[in-house]
């Protein structure tokens, strides 16, 4: 304040300055000083960079990538929360902790306002816009709090935000995206420059929300502990670590407590249970094979990530391993390495969107290492070691050019795909058909995949009669509503997701076999068929 | 409807517990707040003169030791006024004997009030004080020789009217409740009191408190009818805008002992709580300049009673949430007040470790076990004390219940003695 109020003008000698104007200037400085502090320079940079990312993130957000079954699931469960039906519209069986789609439910006003008539999943993706903006901002802030310069933090934000892999996966309605936002928040809070005890408690609580948004984040929690250790001073560290533990445990415990109060903590004969669900997730899930074994599903999945962008995952994977040995980068690097152990561990189940949790840390570690290397190279006195200095500059320029040459073609292809491809046209056409047909047969029983469920209900079909296809075989509560078994079904909407594994679901196989096509949208494997069930077929 | 009430009650209990925890942890909020709780190092000059009041009632055993220790202070501009009752010839004889060793600096004041209590004794001595600053100590206090030098420079460096030094119960090993009692003091003097000083509303402690003599005289001294005359003085001085500084340095705190039995702890706490109630009813706090200060005063003075209520209400809420047929969301809400409660206990565990480190004491697994297992019983004892206080105030009983001191904090120990003007 005092520096701002100092007479600023050298060209006007003090004795010539009218006292009234001087006072007016002082008042003006007093009034505008707080405004000048906010928005801060960092806030302006983040806003501008997020807007840049928005230019590739927003256009065609509903058209690419193709809607995934999981997106429909979470969106429908968020819808159930909003409608007051509980945590899911089917029996909630503790498959995932619910905080992810509770947040999605809280953001549901956004798609309704922006795209009320679009395919539900396509419109729902607008709910991810603020989440992704927050992730980008937190990536910037975390990089700054790790002690890196503004350009480095800006580069981290852009490396993350412009990677076609990010644009592809972060557009989708995945719980991992919510979870990684909270994990970043936990790290940012743990490294609070004020070293405030309640920021540290909040860091623990944020980590708990991350885990309750997506349970796989549990493996990354030790990274928050590392950040806390680095972000606290002796004498206060004990209080901060215990405070964070309290935040983590006391927020986290509400999930098992919920199960306990519902009588669903322990497995039992006639009800779902939290522990039973965990046992299923850990033991009964079919493993995805080894990443390093060609043809395994884990290997195929990693290949598909690298198809969208190999630059960020490859550079990031190297950087996070190296980052473990750099004090400043240890926390984010550890988060990524711990999460990555899940990818390379043989035989485990690898979810399709798993890499979402790794990407921000890949970006931070990559740019952080670059800054450290650049500073090392340039830490030569240009006057005394002119040659070495010029060589360093040349090396830096050359590697920057090489990186740009490498990245630009990969990213322009990927981003071009992201802003142009219309991968959901089949679903969109089906949604239109549902809306047109619902008034004709509102009581029809429709079996479909998760993506279309909310569209069917919104179109006017009865909620109890719109059925996720695998519930037909797997949920006894659903089969109990079908007096004649599969013969009670009127329509089945056959999509690639449904046709993937016909043999393990006998009722689904039956309705697909004993039905005829009413209308088809699209061609080839991606086609969507609306089929009328032949209820009297033998 | 019962579900709504249960939910509302849970939210209130949560808010109260969270607020209390927030304030309790004040000193450890940031490195800056922690640094601000320390005494600045003394600058070496001794400008102020001290009149140290030591009320003694049936304290023959410990008085000589306490005064001798006070006389070893590095700050030499002091006089000691030992206040004895006219009905206590034993202590008076000891006091006279001590005074004879240095008649210029030690005097004996005889208090003829009936009935006797600590504030009346202090008021009796106030006109005799010659020093610029009046300090109060209890007869069993172990005072550090450097304390006055620190207080002197704290007065001058901050321009304060009042300096409250740290007091620490130290015999955590004596019993399960003494451990909890010690930790209460640790959190209060180490942390919470600093917040009160900063916000401009402070219930002062009973000893190691220093007030500029003219400020104390202007305020009319202590309230001879109040059971918490220390708290009351703090409230009245806060109202007139006196600047209060709290300074804590583990090396120079005044060391005291906890009550030796659960019963005497209960009586002591009953007296404090009743004193708080009296201060609340006196309404002096209503004259505090800002709304926030008045809210803090109301909150602090009713604190023991809300805390007592919480200790009973939270388990009942949990029982209802678990056993009775209430909606899951409401049942979850009944658990929210437990969150700050358990967090408090977790912070106490770190606090116990910190306490051990600061005072060079060995904390063993047994002590941590006593801390965790004793937390709820201790809360119940405090609740009982709060109920007794309300009952006694209601029925008009306001005599002083005595606190026994066994000298467990003194290196050589000592015989049990009765002390009317208790800590």
For A81-145, the three-class secondary structure string (H helix, E strand, C coil) is HHCCCCCCCCCCCCCCCCHHHHHHHHCCHHHHHHCCCCCHHHHHHHHHHHHHHHHHHHHHHHHHH
Distance in Å, alpha carbon of A82 to nearest chain B alpha carbon: 15
Cα separation, B223 vs A468, in Å, equals: 77
Bridge partners of A491, per DSSP, are A446, A532
Distance in Å, alpha carbon of A424 to nearest chain B alpha carbon: 38
Cβ within 8 Å, pair A195-B31: yes
Predicted confidence at residue B10, as pLDDT, reads: 92
CB contacts < 8 A (A, B): 55
Distance in Å, alpha carbon of B319 to nearest chain A alpha carbon: 12
Cβ within 8 Å, pair A254-B34: no
B349 reaches A (C-beta below 8 A) = yes
Distance in Å, alpha carbon of B380 to nearest chain A alpha carbon: 23
* Residue of chain B whose Cα is closest to the Cα of A200: B29
B412 reaches A (C-beta below 8 A) = no
Question: What phi, psi does B212 have (nearest 5°)?
Answer: -60, 135
B339 contacts B13 by C-beta, under 8 angstroms? no
Distance in Å, alpha carbon of B351 to nearest chain A alpha carbon: 8
Question: What phi, psi does B359 have (nearest 5°)?
Answer: -105, 10
B28 reaches A (C-beta below 8 A) = yes
Interface with B, mutate which of A257, A259, A263, A265 (most B CBs under 10 A): A257
A135 contacts A177 by C-beta, under 8 angstroms? yes
Estimate the crossing angle of helix B338-358 against helix A237-252, to 10 degrees. Answer: 160
Predicted confidence at residue A34, as pLDDT, reads: 54
**Residues of chain A contacting residue B321, judged by C-beta atoms under 8 Å apart:** 261
* Residue of chain B whose Cα is closest to the Cα of A193: B30
Name A221's Cβ contacts closer than 8 Å, sequence gap at least 6.
A207, A211, A248
DSSP state of B41: P
Distance in Å, alpha carbon of B196 to nearest chain A alpha carbon: 19
Going along B31-90, which residue ranges are E strands? 50-55, 78-85
Cα separation, A464 vs A467, in Å, equals: 7
Helix, strand and coil content of chain B, in percent to the nearest 5, comes to 55, 10, 30
Predicted confidence at residue A25, as pLDDT, reads: 63
Bridge partners of A448, per DSSP, are A468
Cβ within 8 Å, pair A239-B28: yes
* Residue of chain A whose Cα is closest to the Cα of B343: A246
* Residue of chain B whose Cα is closest to the Cα of A262: B328
Angle at A318 between CA A316 and CA A324, to 5 degrees: 95
Name B381's Cβ contacts closer than 8 Å, sequence gap at least 6.
B177, B262, B265, B266, B269
Cβ within 8 Å, pair A239-B350: yes
Predicted confidence at residue A12, as pLDDT, reads: 41
Cβ within 8 Å, pair B29-A250: no
Name B252's Cβ contacts closer than 8 Å, sequence gap at least 6.
B39, B144, B146, B147, B150, B165, B166
Determine the 3-state secondary structure of A151 from DSSP.
helix
Distance in Å, alpha carbon of B29 to nearest chain A alpha carbon: 5
Segments of chain A scoring below 70 in pLDDT: 1-38, 502
Nearest to A261 among B25, B331, B350 (CB): B331
B106 contacts B98 by C-beta, under 8 angstroms? yes
Determine the 3-state secondary structure of B245 from DSSP.
strand
Distance in Å, alpha carbon of B334 to nearest chain A alpha carbon: 11
Cα separation, B257 vs B156, in Å, equals: 31
Tell me the residues of A at the B interface, defined by beta carbons under 8 Å apart.
Answer: 194-198, 201, 233, 235-236, 238-239, 242-243, 245-247, 250-251, 254, 257-258, 261-262
**Residues of chain A contacting residue B28, judged by C-beta atoms under 8 Å apart:** 197, 236, 239
Predicted confidence at residue B41, as pLDDT, reads: 80
Longest pairwise C-alpha distance within chain A: 106
Angle at B57 between CA B56 and CA B59, to 5 degrees: 75
Please count the residues of chain A: 538
DSSP one-letter string for A266-290: S-BTTB--HHHHHHIIIIISPP---
How do the domains of chain A map onto residue ranges?
A: 41-61+68-265+287-371, 378-420, 425-533
Cβ within 8 Å, pair B343-A250: yes
**Residues of chain B contacting residue A198, judged by C-beta atoms under 8 Å apart:** 22, 29
Cβ within 8 Å, pair A261-B349: no
Cα separation, B295 vs B301, in Å, equals: 10
Cβ within 8 Å, pair A243-B335: no
* Residue of chain B whose Cα is closest to the Cα of A233: B31
Cβ within 8 Å, pair B354-A196: no
Predicted confidence at residue A32, as pLDDT, reads: 61
Distance in Å, alpha carbon of A264 to nearest chain B alpha carbon: 12
Cβ within 8 Å, pair A246-B342: yes
B34 reaches A (C-beta below 8 A) = yes
Per-residue pLDDT of chain B (423 residues; tens, 9 = 90+): 778 888 999 999 999 999 999 999 999 999 999 988 887 788 888 889 999 999 999 988 889 999 999 999 999 899 999 999 999 999 999 999 999 999 999 999 999 998 889 999 999 999 999 999 999 999 989 999 999 999 999 999 999 999 999 999 999 999 999 999 999 999 999 999 999 998 989 999 999 999 999 999 999 999 999 999 999 999 999 999 899 999 888 889 999 999 999 999 999 999 999 999 999 999 999 999 999 999 999 999 998 888 888 888 888 888 888 888 888 889 999 999 999 999 999 999 999 999 999 999 999 999 999 999 999 999 999 999 999 999 998 888 777 665 545 555 555 433 333 333 333
B342 reaches A (C-beta below 8 A) = yes
Distance in Å, alpha carbon of A190 to nearest chain B alpha carbon: 13
* Residue of chain B whose Cα is closest to the Cα of A254: B332
pLDDT in tens, B329-373: 899 999 999 999 999 999 999 999 999 999 999 999 999 999 999
Cβ within 8 Å, pair A197-B29: yes
Predicted confidence at residue B312, as pLDDT, reads: 86
**Residues of chain B contacting residue A262, judged by C-beta atoms under 8 Å apart:** 328
């Amino acid at each position: 304040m005092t520096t701002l109020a100092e007479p600023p003008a050298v060209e006007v000698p003090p004795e010539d300055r009218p006292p009234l104007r001087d006072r007016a200037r002082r008042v003006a400085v007093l009034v505008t000083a707080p405004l000048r502090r906010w928005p801060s320079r960092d806030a302006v940079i983040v806003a501008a960079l997020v807007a840049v990312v928005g230019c590739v993130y927003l256009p065609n957000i509903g058209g690419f990538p193709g809607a995934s079954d999981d997106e429909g699931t979470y969106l429908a469960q968020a819808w159930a929360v909003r409608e007051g039906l509980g945590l899911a519209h089917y029996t909630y069986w503790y498959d995932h902790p619910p905080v992810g789609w509770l947040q999605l439910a809280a953001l549901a006003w956004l798609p309704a306002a922006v795209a009320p008539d679009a395919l539900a999943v396509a419109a729902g993706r607008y709910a991810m816009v603020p989440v992704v903006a927050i992730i980008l901002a937190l990536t910037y802030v975390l990089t700054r709090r790790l002690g890196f310069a503004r350009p480095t933090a800006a580069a981290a934000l852009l490396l993350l935000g412009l990677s076609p892999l990010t644009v592809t996966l972060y557009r989708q309605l995945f719980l991992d995206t919510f979870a990684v936002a909270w994990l970043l928040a936990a790290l940012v809070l743990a490294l609070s420059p004020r070293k405030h005890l309640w920021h540290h408690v909040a860091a623990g609580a944020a980590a708990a929300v991350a885990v309750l948004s997506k349970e796989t984040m549990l493996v990354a929690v030790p990274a928050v502990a590392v950040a806390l250790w680095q972000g606290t001073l002796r004498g206060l560290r004990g209080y901060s670590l215990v405070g964070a533990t309290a935040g983590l445990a006391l927020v986290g415990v509400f999930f098992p407590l919920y199960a306990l109060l519902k009588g669903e903590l322990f497995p039992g004969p006639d009800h779902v249970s939290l522990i039973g669900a965990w046992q299923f997730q850990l033991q009964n899930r079919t493993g995805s094979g080894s990443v390093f074994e060609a043809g395994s599903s884990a290997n195929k999945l990693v290949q598909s990530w690298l198809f969208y962008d190999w630059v960020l995952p490859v550079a990031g994977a190297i950087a996070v391993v190296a980052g473990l040995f750099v004090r400043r980068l240890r926390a984010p690097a550890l988060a990524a390495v711990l999460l990555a152990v899940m990818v390379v561990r043989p035989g485990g189940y690898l979810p399709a969107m798993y890499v979402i949790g790794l990407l921000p840390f890949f970006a931070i570690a990559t740019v952080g290492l670059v800054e450290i290397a650049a500073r090392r190279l340039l830490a030569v006195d240009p006057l005394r070691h002119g040659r070495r200095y010029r060589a360093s500059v040349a090396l830096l320029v050359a590697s920057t050019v090489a990186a740009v040459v490498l990245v630009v073609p990969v990213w322009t292809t990927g981003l071009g795909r992201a802003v142009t491809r219309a991968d959901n046209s089949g679903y969109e056409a089906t949604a239109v058909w549902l809306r047109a047909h619902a008034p004709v047969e509102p009581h029809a029983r429709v079996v479909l995949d998760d993506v279309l469920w909310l569209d069917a209900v919104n179109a006017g079909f009865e909620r109890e009669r719109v059925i996720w296809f695998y519930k037909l075989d797997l949920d006894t509560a659903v089969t109990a509503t079908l007096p004649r078994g599969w013969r009670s079904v009127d329509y089945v909407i056959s999509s690639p997701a449904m046709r993937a594994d016909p043999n393990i679901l006998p009722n689904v196989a039956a309705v697909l076999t004993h039905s005829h096509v009413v209308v088809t949208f699209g061609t080839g494997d991606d086609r969507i068929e609306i089929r009328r069930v032949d209820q009297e077929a033998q | 409807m019962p579900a709504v009430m249960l939910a509302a009650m849970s939210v209130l209990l949560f808010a109260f517990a969270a607020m209390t925890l927030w304030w309790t942890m004040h000193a450890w909020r940031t490195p800056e707040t922690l640094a601000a709780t320390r005494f600045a190092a003394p600058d070496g000059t001794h400008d102020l003169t001290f009149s140290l009041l030591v009320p003694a009632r049936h304290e023959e055993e410990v008085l000589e030791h306490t005064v001798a220790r006070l006389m070893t202070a590095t700050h030499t501009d002091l006089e000691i006024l030992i206040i004895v009752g006219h009905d206590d010839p034993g202590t008076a004889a000891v006091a006279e004997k001590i005074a004879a060793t240095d008649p210029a600096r030690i005097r004996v004041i005889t208090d003829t009030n009936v009935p006797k209590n600590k504030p009346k004794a202090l008021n009796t001595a106030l006109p005799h004080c010659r020093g610029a600053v009046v300090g109060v100590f209890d007869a069993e206090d172990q005072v550090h020789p450097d304390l006055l030098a620190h207080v002197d420079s704290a007065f001058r460096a901050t321009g304060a009217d009042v300096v409250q030094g740290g007091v620490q119960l130290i015999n955590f090993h004596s019993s399960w409740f003494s451990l909890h009692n010690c930790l209460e003091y640790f959190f209060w003097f180490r942390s919470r009191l600093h917040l009160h000083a900063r916000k401009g509303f402070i219930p002062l402690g009973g000893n190691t408190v220093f007030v500029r003599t003219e400020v104390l005289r202007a305020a009319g001294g202590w309230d001879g009818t109040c059971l918490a005359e220390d708290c009351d003085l703090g409230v009245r001085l806060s109202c007139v805008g006196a600047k209060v500084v709290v300074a804590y340095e583990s090396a120079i705190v005044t060391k005291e002992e906890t009550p030796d039995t659960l019963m005497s702890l209960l009586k002591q706490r009953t007296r404090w709580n009743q004193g708080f109630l009296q201060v609340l009813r006196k309404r002096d706090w209503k004259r505090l300049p800002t709304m926030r200060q008045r809210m803090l005063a109301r909150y602090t003075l009713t604190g023991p009673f809300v805390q007592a209520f919480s200790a009973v209400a939270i388990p009942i809420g949990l029982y209802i949430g678990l056993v009775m047929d209430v909606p899951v969301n409401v049942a979850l809400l009944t658990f929210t007040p437990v969150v700050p409660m358990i967090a408090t206990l977790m912070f106490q565990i770190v606090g116990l470790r910190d306490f051990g480190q600061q005072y060079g004491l060995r904390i063993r697994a047994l002590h941590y076990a006593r801390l965790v297992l004793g937390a709820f019983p201790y809360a119940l004892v405090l609740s009982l004390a709060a109920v007794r206080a309300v009952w006694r105030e209601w029925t008009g009983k306001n005599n002083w219940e005595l606190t026994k001191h066994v000298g467990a904090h003194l290196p050589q120990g000592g015989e049990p003695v009765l002390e009317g003007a208790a800590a």
